[in-house]
Each structure stands twice: as structure tokens, then as C-alpha cells.
Structure 1
């Protein structure tokens, strides 16, 4: 007597994470195959079409797989969107996190998928197709890199810490750009080294892995903050806004830090 296949809606969150890893890795192979020489972009329109082509190549594989895993979950179509989501479950996906790096033959890019339930990230997968590394986190069950547990830095001194920030999007509001510049200056005075680059998710993975002590950003989208927020939280880090208040998708600033330097980082960013 044959046994009927297990309904995807009956998956435990742990089972669902495993299936999501498989889907993201499969889709990531398509982006890896498109990586190579620097692309020349004579116009902004040409660049935007190239970015969209990368997204489409991944989503063609990834979206139906995730929809099969969670048929009733919503789908966030705009990877740059922010704010709270409607009630229920939603897939928040960035098919090419760091897409602009990919097109410029830089190695810092990834494919991410996060399941959000009632506006709380439940699980996330961040896959780096070039290296084959996969970061995962499951709410209440920790953060891992290829199955190895992750833990944030134990440092208690901002002055001994590498920190990082990222530009949330091109064509940022001038006030936000000036605020970013001031914050970098403040951190250059207080931290050991400041890294500034996109994408945000890879900086947050480094915070979760204890490689850097803190990451902050002004503005931002759900797709570039939620994966890393869950990774850092599950690795023992602290998430807040830049003033130390609880962070939500409505917040206009974001800070992830090792607990030992969170207060110092807030003080520096509040100057």
C-alpha cells in the first residue's frame, strides 16, 4: 500500500527550512551561471534591465518552489519595499541580493528567502552561490552556517571592533545621505575599522558569525534587513533602531550588534 506524500502545509518549520534551503540553492545556481565579466551599462535603463534579468532568472526557479512549499503564503514582489506586511504568512525574497555587485564582477552577492509570519521572521536562508555557503536561521533554534552554529562576537569594546554600514538603495534622499556620512565619521572616531559596502545581508551574516561587531543602516527594505535580523538574533545579537529602541519594519534606522558593544554603538550613532 502506497503512502500519500506529506502535505507541505503539514511540514514543521524545521522541515520547511530544509526544503527552503534546497530551493534557494537550486535557484542560486542560475545566478552563478550568469556571473563573469564586468557588464558595460551605457545608460541607466540598460543597467536596470540587466538587474531585472538576473532577478527573473532566479525567480523563474525559486518562486514556484516556494509557492509549492507554502501555497497560502503571500509573496512580496517589490524587494525594495518596507513597512509592515498584512496578516498571515509571506515570502520575502531577494533573488539577487547585491545584484549590482554581480553585474560588476564583484563577489559579494547572494540569494535570500525569508518566511515571515504575522510580521515576525520565522526562518531564513542566505545562500552564496560563488562559495557554496548557506546561512540559515530558524526562530528559537539558532543560526547556522552550513550546519555549524553561529555566535556573535564576545567583544565589549567598540574601539576593538570592525563595524559596517550599507547604502540602502540608489538615489537615496539627500538628508539620509548626509546622515549616513555623519554616522560613518562618528564610527571612524570610535570603532577600530569601518566597512562601507552593499549588500546589507552579508554584513549581517558577518555580525552573526562574530566577524564584525555591528552593522547599522538608515532606511532600508524588508528584503535586505529581515534575513540578517533573524540570523543575528538567533546568534545572540541585539537588534534595535539606531537610538536603541525596538526595531520594526516601520523603523527608519536599523542597528545589529554584539551585546557587549550595543550601548556604545547607540551612543556613537546618536551624536
Structure 2
């Protein structure tokens, strides 16, 4: 890895060092995180080919996913650890649950990796700093669209390409677009049952139901008011921490599917525009 291969690496390293020198400045830290996800995104974009077709067996698909993860980590991990040397590190995109107290980087090396290796464009890089189990700041970069989401906890704003986002003002679920997705392969039969029941319930309650991955991109659209809600039966951390912060800082509502406050320890997840949240909880409460 060198600056001629990755032109933004030297700038990203400078920003990371600046952030480390100003440890109490979340603005400086966010700039370093943005530089890191952009650098990793540029590297992964160079590896991306819309004409790509993966091997025909699961072993080949998994190998391609692992290769992508390693390539992204080779760019971003050093930058993020330089910016916050004392923060812990989590990059298992399928891991869930609460973390020990303190600061942790929750990093998804290629969010939507399965899309990347199949030549689909919905993939990106996300990095979220979690403090005492609460997402504190995040940057999510979609290289193909050149779309960047950012948020800092307590700022009262979340941004896409520097423009403040606001959730939808709809007040009827029957007029809403809602979405869900499969967080990971190999879920339990009970999780699959709940997913199926929830889709049926939402089909009866909402205007349109979509199913896709990755979760963070859907949550970015909830924050931006393009769709009204997203739910998921999982505690997969990397797919929810960034999006939860985007939605909540934009002015949306983030809970579990029963309407209780969401935490990293929650077993499921719901984020929505304020005007449809109650109806969404009622629809999902029908799931046994």
C-alpha cells in the first residue's frame, strides 16, 4: 500500500494524526473517519466490476467476500486506529450484542459485500465510533454513487453529501414505503419465521414493502425521507449502529419492534419517520 496506489492515503493519515492530537474534538475525528472510509472506498471501487460473476459455489463466494474485507481493512484500519489509538476494534460484520464499556470502532470493511462480489452497486464502507454502547459518530460512504452519510451524536443533524437530512412527514403507514432485509445467512428458523410474518403484516399495512441489503443504506433513506421505515430481526451490530445514529440525529425514531428504546443489546430493530412509528409498531406487534 502506498500513496501512489491510493492518492488519498497521505491526506487521510494527516487527518487521522490531527484527530489523535485533538482527542476531545469530534469534528476533527469525524473528518478523519470520512477520509478513512473514502480511501477504503476508492480502493474497493478500483476492485469493483459490474460485469463480475462470482464462482458458482458457496466456497468461492465466501472466499471473494473475505478477500474484499482484507483489501478494505488494509487501507482503513491503520487510519482509524491512528485517529483514536485507545479505541477497541470490531470488524466482524456478523457480530452482534453489547460491547464492553469504553470506545470501540465498529467497522464494516465492505457493507453489502455480497453485492460487490456479484457486480451489484449497493455496497459501501462504514465506520462508527461507539462510546459506552452508544453510537457517537459515523461516516458511511457509497463509492459507486459517491454518496457520503455523516452524523455526530447530539448535533441534531445528519447529512448526506453535506446536506442536512430530515425524515418523511407522512402520517399514514398505508401511504408509506417500508423495507427490511436478511442481516446474515444462517439465521435461526425462528428468525426466518418472524421475518416472514412481519413481511405479511407490513404488506397488509403499508403501501409498498421492499427487501434488500445492506441495512445502513436503507436507514440512510429513512433519515433522508425517501422511505418511511426499516425493521430487522437481528442484533447485527455493524448494520445498525451507523444507521441508527443517522436516523435519530435526522429526527426519526429508533426503537425495537415493540417500541422500546433500541440499544446494541436489543434483539430486533425498527427505525421510522415519526408520523408512522406507532402504526409500524402495531403492525409488527402481530408477529408472534
Question: For residue 221 of structure 1, what is the aligned residue in structure 2?
Answer: 236
Question: For residue 196 of structure 1, what is the aligned residue in structure 2?
Answer: 211
CA contact (8 A) 2:48 2:119 kept: yes
Answer yes or no: is 1:129 the counterpart of 2:125. no
Distance 1:194 1:114 in 2: 28
Please state how far the C-alpha of 1:192 moved relative to its aligned partner. 0.5
Please state how far the C-alpha of 1:107 moved relative to its aligned partner. 1.0
Answer yes or no: is 1:49 the counterpart of 2:63. yes
Please state how far the C-alpha of 1:42 moved relative to its aligned partner. 2.9
Question: For residue 7 of structure 2, what is the aligned residue in structure 1?
Answer: none
- Any residues of structure 2 matched to 1:109-258 within 5 Å, and which? 109-141=123-155, 142-258=157-273
SS state of the match for residue 107, structure 1? coil
Question: For residue 21 of structure 1, what is the aligned residue in structure 2?
Answer: 34
SS state of the match for residue 116, structure 1? strand
SS state of the match for residue 124, structure 1? strand
Distance 2:84 2:117 in 1: 31
Shift in alpha-carbon separation, 1:6–1:170, aligned structure 2, 3 A: closer
SS state of the match for residue 238, structure 2? helix
Please state how far the C-alpha of 1:20 moved relative to its aligned partner. 0.8
Please state how far the C-alpha of 1:39 moved relative to its aligned partner. 2.5
Question: For residue 5 of structure 2, what is the aligned residue in structure 1?
Answer: none
Question: For residue 54 of structure 2, what is the aligned residue in structure 1?
Answer: 40
Please state how far the C-alpha of 1:75 moved relative to its aligned partner. 0.1
Question: For residue 114 of structure 2, what is the aligned residue in structure 1?
Answer: 100
Please state how far the C-alpha of 1:87 moved relative to its aligned partner. 1.1
Q: Deviations over 1:180-206 (max 9, x none)?
A: 011101111110000101111110000
Distance 2:44 2:235 in 1: 23
Please state how far the C-alpha of 1:77 moved relative to its aligned partner. 3.3
Note the residue ranges of structure 1 that are not aligned, 5 or more in a row. Answer: none
Q: Count how many residue pairs are aligned between Structure 1 and Structure 2.
A: 268
CA contact (8 A) 1:169 1:220 kept: no
Please state how far the C-alpha of 1:40 moved relative to its aligned partner. 2.6
Distance 1:157 1:5 in 2: 47
Of 43-52 and 123-132, the range deviating more from structure 2 = 43-52
Please state how far the C-alpha of 1:171 moved relative to its aligned partner. 1.4
Distance 2:96 2:228 in 1: 25
TM-score by length of 2: 0.90
Please state how far the C-alpha of 1:5 moved relative to its aligned partner. 6.6
CA contact (8 A) 1:83 1:249 kept: yes
Answer yes or no: is 1:266 the counterpart of 2:278. no
Please state how far the C-alpha of 1:11 moved relative to its aligned partner. 4.8
Distance 2:54 2:247 in 1: 36
Distance 2:198 2:45 in 1: 34
Shift in alpha-carbon separation, 1:10–1:253, aligned structure 2, 3 A: closer
Shift in alpha-carbon separation, 1:6–1:84, aligned structure 2, 3 A: closer
Aligned to 1:61, which of 75, 85, 88? 75
Note the residue ranges of structure 2 that are not aligned, 5 or more in a row. Answer: 1-16
